[in-house]
């Protein structure tokens, strides 16, 4: 009689473990949200997963299907940002904007190359860690494209944190304005319509991504399907419900966090000083590009600074609304940069992997 009980007891223990982790993620998300930490659910999932990986003999294993669904949700969320009305805001300034976006990519590659010289970081990981835009998407793609997802996640969100924390200081000291808390990124339509959009674009995008053999199909397939629908006006401003979006970020954070080991954590810690210095270089470089964009277009430096800030999209939009900047222009440049970074990342990974691979017979 004792035989059949053991699997049941193990199952209950596994369920209790999962519930405990879920409760910890919710509590950490609420705490980080109160501290105004960007992407609090992803940070919470990463921290809870890290603690679970280091403190528990058998860490929680995130189901593969849950990870795929989370990646698709991030793709759909990104795709909803691509709207024709937003991109039209580039207007006559499209050429200098494109040049600045490409210069931002080059700046990211330069700082990423320097990080890749660190003994604990390879070239692909260095590039992914410091690409300026689409942090959540880059974290999703990192593992599939040969980068160390743990280093990419920590450095990407360190970049976002630096940008978000420095933004009020720069606005106050550099422009004499204080960042407001205007609403940004709010979507229209009922939550259930947004949920249907998420389900439909995820399923269609996953199928398309696999059939077309896209790199990182779980992310790029849903992103492209949603972007096409959004540009055609068929989504009518719908967005992914906030609860489902945060759940996706939490799952991705858990995936990354539970992948840590003590050796992996030590390696990431050794990388952080160099990464932080290069992040500061990247932020300063983007500020220089803002000056160049302002000179080329005649637009106010405040608008171009917010448009070229390398990260923290929703915080930047809220600040733009609060200080009276051209929020539509800011959003258009930020979205264009995000798309270029995400779509260029797979080709970049292949190039770097080919260059860093040892020659045959070595």
**Is residue 6 a part of any domain in this protein?**
no
**Is residue 141 a part of any domain in this protein?**
yes
- Confidence grade of residue 359 (pLDDT, cut at 50, 70, 90): very low
Q: Give the residue numbers spanning the domain of 214.
A: 13-183+190-354
Question: Which is higher by pLDDT, 8 or 288?
Answer: 288
Q: pLDDT tens digits, residue range 323-338?
A: 888 878 888 898 888 8
Answer yes or no: are the C-beta atoms of 208 and 221 closer than 8 Å: yes
**Is residue 359 a part of any domain in this protein?**
no
**Is residue 362 a part of any domain in this protein?**
no
Residue 314: closest CA among 334, 342, 333, 289: 334
Q: What is the DSSP string of 66-135?
A: HHHHHHHHHHHHHHTT--HHHHHTTGGGHHHHHHHHHHHHHHHHHHHHHHHTSTT--HHHHHHHH-SS-H
pLDDT tops 90 at residue 203: yes
How far apart CA 251 and CA 216 sit, in angstroms, is 17
How far apart CA 158 and CA 275 sit, in angstroms, is 9
Look up residue 221 and give its two tokens. Answer: 């397939």
**Is residue 120 a part of any domain in this protein?**
yes
pLDDT tops 50 at residue 182: no
**Is residue 253 a part of any domain in this protein?**
yes
How far apart CA 178 and CA 35 sit, in angstroms, is 18
Q: pLDDT tens digits, residue range 73-111?
A: 988 988 888 888 777 878 889 999 999 999 999 999 899
Q: pLDDT tens digits, residue range 226-281?
A: 999 988 888 877 889 989 999 998 998 898 888 888 888 888 899 999 999 999 99
Residue 103: closest CA among 351, 333, 276: 333
- CATH code of 167's domain: 1.20.1530
pLDDT tops 60 at residue 6: no
Nearest-Å Rg of the Cα atoms of the chain is 21
**Is residue 149 a part of any domain in this protein?**
yes
How far apart CA 128 and CA 115 sit, in angstroms, is 10
Q: First CA to last CA across the chain, in angstroms?
A: 59
The total of structural domains in the chain comes to 1
**Is residue 4 a part of any domain in this protein?**
no
């Amino acid at each position: 009689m004792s035989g059949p009980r053991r699997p049941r007891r193990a199952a209950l223990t596994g369920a209790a473990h999962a519930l405990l982790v879920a409760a910890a993620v919710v509590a950490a998300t609420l705490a980080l949200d109160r501290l105004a930490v960007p992407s609090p659910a992803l940070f919470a999932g990463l921290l809870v997963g890290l603690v679970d990986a280091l403190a528990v003999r058998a860490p929680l294993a995130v189901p593969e299907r849950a990870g795929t669904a989370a990646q698709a949700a991030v793709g759909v969320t990104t795709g909803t940002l691509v709207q024709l009305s937003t991109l039209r805001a580039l207007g006559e300034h499209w050429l200098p904007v494109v040049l600045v976006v490409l210069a931002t990519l080059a700046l990211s590659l330069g700082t990423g190359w320097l990080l890749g010289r660190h003994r604990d970081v390879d070239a692909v990981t260095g590039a992914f860690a410091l690409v300026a835009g689409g942090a959540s998407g880059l974290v999703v793609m990192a593992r599939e494209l040969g980068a160390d997802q743990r280093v990419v996640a920590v450095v990407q969100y360190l970049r976002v944190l630096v940008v978000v924390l420095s933004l009020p200081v720069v606005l106050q000291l550099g422009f004499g304005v204080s960042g407001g808390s205007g609403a940004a990124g709010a979507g229209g339509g009922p939550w259930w319509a947004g949920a249907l959009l998420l389900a439909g674009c995820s399923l269609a995008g996953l199928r398309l991504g696999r059939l077309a053999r896209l790199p990182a199909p779980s992310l790029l397939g849903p992103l492209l399907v949603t972007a096409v629908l959004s540009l055609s006006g068929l989504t009518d401003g719908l967005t992914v419900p906030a609860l489902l979006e945060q759940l996706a970020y939490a799952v991705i954070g858990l995936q990354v966090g539970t992948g840590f080991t003590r050796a992996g954590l030590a390696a990431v810690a050794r990388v952080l000083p160099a990464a932080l210095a290069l992040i500061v270089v990247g932020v300063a470089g983007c500020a220089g590009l803002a000056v160049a964009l302002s000179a080329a277009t005649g637009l106010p430096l405040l608008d171009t600074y917010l448009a070229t800030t390398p990260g923290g999209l929703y915080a930047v939009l809220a600040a733009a609304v609060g200080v009276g900047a051209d929020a539509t222009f800011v959003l258009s440049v930020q979205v264009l940069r995000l798309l270029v970074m995400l779509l260029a990342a797979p080709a970049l990974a292949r190039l770097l992997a080919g260059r860093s691979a040892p020659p045959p017979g070595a």
